Amino acid sequence: MLIQLESHPNHGATGRIRRENECRIITAAEAEFARHGYKGASIQKIAERAGLPKANIHYYFRSKLKLYAAVLAHILDMWDGLLGELDPAGDPAAEMEAYIRAKMRLTRQYPLASRIFGIEIMSGAPYLQEYFQDGYQDWFRERTAVFATWIARGEMDPVDPAHLIFLLWSSTQHYADFSCQISSALGRQGNELEQADYEQATETLLHVILKGCGLRKALD
């Protein structure tokens, strides 16, 4: 049941063909896992989507679980790289604004990744237990400490840092995970949100959350 999340197993050491095919398979797998979750996805469908025979998938990723682990690792890697951390020495308003903008950009650019991650967590994160153990609580405490610093300095309202972080996560991730419902509500064609929607969402979040933390005095 456990899963091994190596960041870069031993790619790169092997040839060009391997890298290309693994990439095609992972891309196809992301689409299937995002639609059906781990159990619901089928290797046959992934193979068809990748344009390869099924046995080829098993050649590169020895099992369904290994493939899923690779997909999750690929996602976590990408997020680690693209999402900068908050700097306690910086200005809270500027730092939070940068974070929200970065998260919304990611949300827009990689909605599948967000959904795979979301479905995995909703299902009880059975294959991410390792990820959410040990170090995770400490890592999270460091994030909250940044807000605690700002609060102690009187630079923002004494808002519970942990729940403020959850608010940042939820409100931004929602635009990837629930884009289907959102585009229906807004009456967008083909269940596809437009650039303007993301911008409007970003500005609204910035206003409410920053002002809600005491970081904006007037309307702007």
Q: Which two tokens stand for residue 178?
A: 């629930």
Considering the rule CB under 8 A, would residue 163 count as an interface residue with its own copies? yes
At 155, the amino acid letter reads: E
What would the DSSP string read from start to end of 86-104?
Answer: P-TTS-HHHHHHHHHHHHH
Considering the rule CB under 8 A, would residue 103 count as an interface residue with its own copies? no
Distance CA 90, CA 186 (A): 36
Considering the rule CB under 7 A, would residue 1 count as an interface residue with DNA? no
Nearest alpha-carbon partner for 4 in 62, 84, 80, 85:
62
Residue 2 or 122: which CB sits closer to its own copies? 122
Q: Which does 115 bind (CB under 5 to 8 A by kind): DNA, its own copies, none?
A: its own copies
Q: Which does 95 bind (CB under 5 to 8 A by kind): DNA, its own copies, none?
A: none
Report, in Å, the least distance between residue 115 CB and its own copies.
5
Report, in Å, the least distance between residue 126 CB and DNA.
15
**Which residues, at least 6 apart from 173, have a Cβ–Cβ distance to it below 8 Å?**
103, 107, 114, 118
List the interface residues with its own copies, window 32-71 (CB under 8 A).
Answer: 34-41
- Residues near DNA (CB under 7 A) are 14-18, 21, 41-45, 52-56, 58-60, 62-65
